[in-house]
Amino acid sequence: MKVTILGSGTSTGVPMVGCTCRGCSSNDERDKRTRASLLVRQNGRNILIDASPDLRFQALREGIERVDAVLFTHSHADHVNGIDDLRGFYFLHKEIIPCFGSPDTLDTLLSGFGYIFHELEGSGYTPLLEPHEISGTFKLFGLTIIPIPLEHGRTSAMGYRIGNFAYLTDCSGLPDSSLAMLEGLELLVIDGLRWNPHPFHFNIEAVITATLPLKPERTVLTHLTHDVLFSDGAKLPPGYEFARDGMTFDITAIEAQAGGSHA
Ligand SMILES: [Zn+2]
Ligand SMILES: [Zn+2]
Ligand SMILES: [Zn+2]
């Protein structure tokens, strides 16, 4: 299974429009971040996690030729506003793309982007996506998808574990019941946002505190703001690093093995 970070940036992307700060004016390509999204590839199938406003650019950059399913984390604009860019994949392959999310997330998607899920009366546009409410662990193309509930300030989001990989964004806290589902990870990609605290997101210190007991082999901090320079990753503890757009990982265990190498 291959995992690619399509976007490692916070909601504004980096550089942020109008900003001339140190991060936004950095010449280091690794500091240029599109909005947070990730691709899982397995057996020729592509599972997209979130449809960021930069989806079209990300798909062209990574040479993505098909999207077979989309898992949505939540309905904030930086995670869903690229949904219309999924049309191209439908036009090419003529296959309706299943989309998975919590009931709340799907409600918001259906009210904001109803035209893409069902034919609006008299519109003549056929549906391209099919909504699927998540109610627990499910199978997709032979992979077991484990939804992981996350605290996101006063709201919530859904992370996903697939085999010994987990993608957790956006989050400010991990409920105990979710921590129990995150043992034995080979790779954890998780919201780290910035150095200073934020009410809706883990900051770097808080995410390290929350994840240290889980002992993932490798932890990659994503959804980063312009306050974070990639080169400052050297300041992180062993096993932690910053995400950058296009980063790709090979995951060996595609069935979750709780305890993993730490058992
Ligand atoms: Zn976000
Ligand atoms: Zn800036
Ligand atoms: Zn959010």
Q: Is residue 27 part of a domain?
A: no
Find the 11 Cα to ligand 1 centroid distance in Å. 5
* Domain-located, residue 260: no
Instruction: Evaluate whether residue 194 is within a structural domain.
Output: yes
- Residue 253 lies inside a defined structural domain of this protein: no
pLDDT of residue 254: 81
Q: What is the DSSP letter of 16?
A: P
Rounded to an integer, what distance in angstroms lies between the CA atom of residue 132 and that of residue 34?
A: 27
Those residues whose C-beta lies under 8 Å from the C-beta of residue 248, and which sit 6 or more positions away, are 2, 3, 4, 5
Examine the pLDDT at 262 and tell me if it is beyond 50: no
Smallest-distance ligand from the CA of 23: 2
What distance in angstroms lies between residue 200's CA and the mean position of ligand 2's atoms? 19
Span from the CA of 68 to the centroid of ligand 1 (angstroms): 23
Number of domains in the chain: 1
Percentage of residues in the chain with pLDDT exceeding 70?
97
**Is 188 a member of any domain?**
yes
Confidence bin at 135 (pLDDT 50/70/90): very high
pLDDT of residue 244: 98
For the entire predicted model, the pTM comes to 0.96
**Looking at the domain assignment, is residue 22 inside a domain?**
no
Segment 169-198, tens digit of pLDDT: 999 999 999 999 999 999 999 999 999 999
pLDDT at 218: 98
- Is the residue at 52 inside a domain? yes
CA 4 to chain centroid, in Å, comes to 10
Domain region containing 153: 2-15+33-135+144-248
Distance from the alpha carbon of residue 154 to the mean position of ligand 3, in angstroms: 11
Give the distance (Å) from ligand 1 centre to CA of residue 78.
5
Could you tell me if residue 126 is inside a domain?
yes
What's the rounded mean pLDDT across residues 5-9?
98
- Report residue 183 as tokens: 């043992």
Rounded to the nearest angstrom, the distance between the alpha carbon of 212 and the centre of ligand 3 is 23
Distance 16 CA to ligand 2 centre (A): 6
In this structure, what CATH number is given to the domain that contains residue 235?
3.60.15.10
Q: What local confidence, expressed as pLDDT, does residue 258 receive?
A: 60
18-31 pLDDT, tens digit per residue, is 999 999 999 999 99
Note the residue count of the chain: 263
User: Is residue 73 over pLDDT 70?
Assistant: yes
Q: How far is the CA of 170 from the centre of ligand 3 (A)?
A: 5
Specify whether the backbone of 44 is left (phi greater than 0), alpha (psi in -120 to 50) or beta: left
Residue 161 pairs with which residues in a beta bridge? 146, 166
The pLDDT of residue 256: 72
